[in-house]
Structure 1
Amino acid sequence: MTAGAAAVGGSALPGWEGVRDAFAQGQANDPGAAQLAVHHHGRLVVDLWSAGPAATEGRPFGPDAVGVLMSASKGMAAVCAHLLSERGALDLDAPVARYWPEFAAAGKAGTTVADLLAHRAGLPAFADGAAGVGVSDLLDWDARTRALAAMPPLWEPGSAYLYHALTYGHLVGEVVRRVTGTSIGRFFSREVAGRLGLDLWMGLPQREEHRFAPQFAVREPPTAERVAAAVAGLGLAEDDRLAIALRASAAELGAAIEAFGTRRGRAGEFPAAGGIGNARSLSRLYAALIGPVDGVRLLSGPTMDRARAPHTDHLPQPAPLDRLDGPDRSRFGLGFELPRPGEPLLGEGSFGHAGAGGRLGMAHPESGLAVGYVCTAMSWEPSSGPDPRWVRWTAAVREAAGLPARG
């Protein structure tokens, strides 16, 4: 083992050994556990894992362990919507109200399904109160979707965008439920995970609980006071609806993380952040989006080209957040994140989704690369640039696939 590197299990095929070394170096200072998997043209070429001193609360950790994916879950939800679109059951340019009539209330009659996927709907929090909603309320699907349907948007839908950290999953998930008659978690299990043999769930079955590796925070999460101070620094009045939504969203994220530490939270379907799985399955999912994997391809090339095309680059953030826009502002396709300096993914043309703390799923169609990274130590903060654990192995993956080094 190289000095300054973590102990790593698993395998890397010939030509991909550099990824193993880079992963070991990236995990050297990580107290938690992590997995890295890479597919190349549908073939699993890298399947690695590492467990630090505070990895799993005494549970054994290996390639079959599963963990919370946080917002990497959003890519799973997006796949469901695109699958229905490709089958002709869902028109992404149609008003949401075509499928979910109650959603037309409060000025949302023109909101499209694409607006939901691209974070343009103006509904970034579940509650209009700064405290947000608590753990039990978050897990009440019907109550949350009723509230979203009744809520007026913060801006004219489609005219601006802001990350819908938790509401994204209920918005997209309720459309899937209205179209299919079943929950998005069940639809995903039947139409996606079942076809590919994936260990990915929105709602962890009881029979899989023994495989669950809990997450933990490396640093103190933002307190309500810190969030309120940051919002006040934007010059917004305390009772401004955007200020209220920003505070509520932060509170709701804390409640969601608390919920995922419970059996009830893991069993509940929470498609924006509560997906559970491992790196091997996350990588296999993305591989099947860009090409066949054991004879199964989930979505066509034209569907994926539409999904990864920029759908927010031309839009502002809602004022006054638009004043903060810089080179690292978030970029979205339809349900997927696109490369930016703080989250470069696999370079131009790639797409995927990161999750709070450092999870990452992504693909690059032109090179045939698909990657899954799952970790238990929540140490990445998007505002600080790329997760240091990603940097070395991302470069090694690009090199092994013959892509030029990024400048």
Structure 2
Amino acid sequence: MPVATGPIAGQYAEGFAPLAAQFAAHFRAKQEIGASLCVYHRGEMVVDLWGGLADRETQAPWTADSLVVVFSATKGLAAMALNMAAERGKFEWDAPVAQYWPAFAQNGKADITVRQLFNHRAGLAAIDVSLVLADFYDPSQTERLNAILAAQAPAWTADADQGYHTMSFGMYAEAFFQKVCGEPLATFLHRELLDPLGADVFMGTPASQDERVATLYPVSTPTRLVHMLWAAARGGSTESNVARAVLSGGLAKSSLMNPPTPGGLGAYNLPPVRRHCLAWASATASARGLARAYAPWSMQGTWQGRQYVQPETIAPILQRQGWSEQDQVLGKPMGWAQGFLKEDDGVFSPSRASFGHPGMGGALGWCDPEAQLSWAYTMNHMDWRVRSPRALALCQALYRCKLD
């Protein structure tokens, strides 16, 4: 395979030069601090690139196995665990959540199904009780937090609308998973998928991996606000719709900011945050690891001769199960299928069968079963936009490559 030169390192297969060139261009334009990109095609790694710095202060280089917090790309991993648990008969997608978690039936939620909850259609995008991030690290708070989740009243009748359950998705995923499986979501996913795959992903990052974790460089809150105000005033784009939804307060603000992150998103650089499995945001991954985690999902559930997921589990995910032209939280077109994001046409892929999950700032784990592709992009220079132009440019470049 050709070896990358210049501002990036690694290698890529013949036919994937357009993608390597696009990745290198971001470094030349000083749009990256440190980043990795990995692609599997038909189960084989065809792109493995990285470059830049893991930490500006120490000048530590970004390496092939640098880990970084991937924010909401964590939700794609949680969706993997949910789908694999359903395959093992732990629950039915169209059964009421209350069948497995009786307390959940409070406040008009008795008929909400598992599918509606994890397709962001249950009206539970925001939690009314003020939460504290540190409570999610404390096992003694689990029972109280679960009681709060069970008591929450929905903002709309299930399936009548859709709103991105920004943080509550992970809260409900963890609570529900422990009810139906009797163990933490992370324990199950590592045992059943990540560890057998050798996927360099951690749902709760142990101290032994701290030296590999790159420093995040988020946009400051004042800078983010200025950008959002400008986008909202300008109009006519996805980012303007998102900015207007968030700046209007109400549901969008509550969904995105409870629990608040003390000190801003830089708090995710602190070990306590990533040490625990916050199933909405705290996973760390290398691009190699995240792309490999999606590889079986792009290959009818099989990778290197082992069946990780049944084709019958993947088949319904290829279709949009829920869709909104204006999501109540993000204000943009989007949909879901059993916990995985189904983006608007052409955003990450031209294939509607594709699925995965992006993360705040630009991180992305995605797969296209039609083209038998899985890929991941991880970086530490976080973009203020809900869909990073760098991530979008990489996806577009991928489909300019020779995939036959």
TM-score normalised by the shorter chain: which range applies? 0.7 to 0.9
Moved more, 101-110 or 243-252: 243-252
Fraction of identical pairs, as percent = 29
Question: In the aligned structure 2, how far is the partner of 1:347 from the partner of 1:103?
Answer: 36
Secondary structure of the residue aligned to 2:61 is coil
C-alpha deviation, 1:388, in angstroms? 2.4
Secondary structure of the residue aligned to 1:10 is strand
Residues 14 and 31 (structure 1), Cα distance of their counterparts in 2 relative to 1, 3 Å cut? closer
Secondary structure of the residue aligned to 2:342 is coil
Counterparts in 2 of 1:189-268, with a 5 A limit? 189-220=190-221, 244-252=250-258, 254-255=260-261, 257-268=265-276
Determine if the alignment matches structure 1 residue 354 to structure 2 residue 335.
no
TM-score (norm: length of structure 1): 0.84
**Which of residues 292, 296, 299 is equivalent to 2:309?**
299
Question: In the aligned structure 2, how far is the partner of 1:261 from the partner of 1:342?
Answer: 32
Determine if the alignment matches structure 1 residue 331 to structure 2 residue 335.
yes
Q: Deviations over 1:312-370 (max 9, x none)?
A: 2268755xx7xx96xx4122222111131683335332111111000011111111111
**Unaligned segments of structure 1, at least 5 residues:** 235-242
Q: Deviations over 1:271-292 (max 9, x none)?
A: 1111111111111111111222
Residues 57 and 345 (structure 1), Cα distance of their counterparts in 2 relative to 1, 3 Å cut? farther
Q: Deviations over 1:55-97 (max 9, x none)?
A: 5753332111101011111110001111011122221111111
Secondary structure of the residue aligned to 1:217 is coil
Checking the alignment, whether the CA contact within 8 Å between 1:43 and 1:293 is kept in structure 2 is no
Checking the alignment, whether the CA contact within 8 Å between 1:358 and 1:374 is kept in structure 2 is yes
Counterparts in 2 of 1:32-71, with a 5 A limit? 32-52=33-53, 55=56, 57-71=58-72
Equivalent AA in structure 1 for residue 275 of structure 2 = A
Residues 6 and 394 (structure 1), Cα distance of their counterparts in 2 relative to 1, 3 Å cut? farther
Question: In the aligned structure 2, how far is the partner of 1:233 from the partner of 1:263?
Answer: 30
Question: In the aligned structure 2, how far is the partner of 1:164 from the partner of 1:401?
Answer: 37
Secondary structure of the residue aligned to 1:255 is coil
**Which of residues 284, 288, 296 is equivalent to 2:296?**
288
Residues 285 and 22 (structure 1), Cα distance of their counterparts in 2 relative to 1, 3 Å cut? same
C-alpha deviation, 1:125, in angstroms? 2.1
C-alpha deviation, 1:401, in angstroms? 4.0
Checking the alignment, whether the CA contact within 8 Å between 2:54 and 2:214 is kept in structure 1 is no
Question: In the aligned structure 2, how far is the partner of 1:101 from the partner of 1:9?
Answer: 53
Q: Deviations over 1:105-130 (max 9, x none)?
A: 1111111111121001211123x15x
1:7 counterpart residue number = 7
Checking the alignment, whether the CA contact within 8 Å between 1:55 and 1:376 is kept in structure 2 is no
Residues 244 and 153 (structure 1), Cα distance of their counterparts in 2 relative to 1, 3 Å cut? same
Residues 378 and 339 (structure 1), Cα distance of their counterparts in 2 relative to 1, 3 Å cut? same
Secondary structure of the residue aligned to 1:73 is helix
TM-score (norm: length of structure 2): 0.85
Question: In the aligned structure 2, how far is the partner of 1:79 from the partner of 1:248?
Answer: 26
Question: In the aligned structure 2, how far is the partner of 1:148 from the partner of 1:51?
Answer: 41
Question: In the aligned structure 2, how far is the partner of 1:231 from the partner of 1:282?
Answer: 30
Residues 7 and 231 (structure 1), Cα distance of their counterparts in 2 relative to 1, 3 Å cut? closer
C-alpha deviation, 1:13, in angstroms? 1.8
Checking the alignment, whether the CA contact within 8 Å between 1:161 and 1:315 is kept in structure 2 is no
Checking the alignment, whether the CA contact within 8 Å between 2:291 and 2:366 is kept in structure 1 is yes
Counterparts in 2 of 1:5-404, with a 5 A limit? 7-28=7-28, 29-52=30-53, 55=56, 57-126=58-127, 128=128, 132-140=130-138, 142=142, 143-220=144-221, 244-252=250-258, 254-255=260-261, 257-291=265-299, 292-313=302-323, 317=327, 328-340=332-344, 343-382=347-386, 386-402=387-403
Equivalent AA in structure 2 for residue 278 of structure 1 = S
Secondary structure of the residue aligned to 2:15 is coil
Checking the alignment, whether the CA contact within 8 Å between 1:70 and 1:275 is kept in structure 2 is yes
Q: Deviations over 1:229-264 (max 9, x none)?
A: 956975xxxxxxxx5443333323651835422211
Checking the alignment, whether the CA contact within 8 Å between 1:10 and 1:49 is kept in structure 2 is yes
C-alpha deviation, 1:198, in angstroms? 1.2
Question: In the aligned structure 2, how far is the partner of 1:232 from the partner of 1:280?
Answer: 33
C-alpha deviation, 1:296, in angstroms? 2.8
Equivalent AA in structure 2 for residue 163 of structure 1 = Y
**Unaligned segments of structure 2, at least 5 residues:** 233-242
Question: In the aligned structure 2, how far is the partner of 1:245 from the partner of 1:204?
Answer: 31
Question: In the aligned structure 2, how far is the partner of 1:21 from the partner of 1:315?
Answer: 34
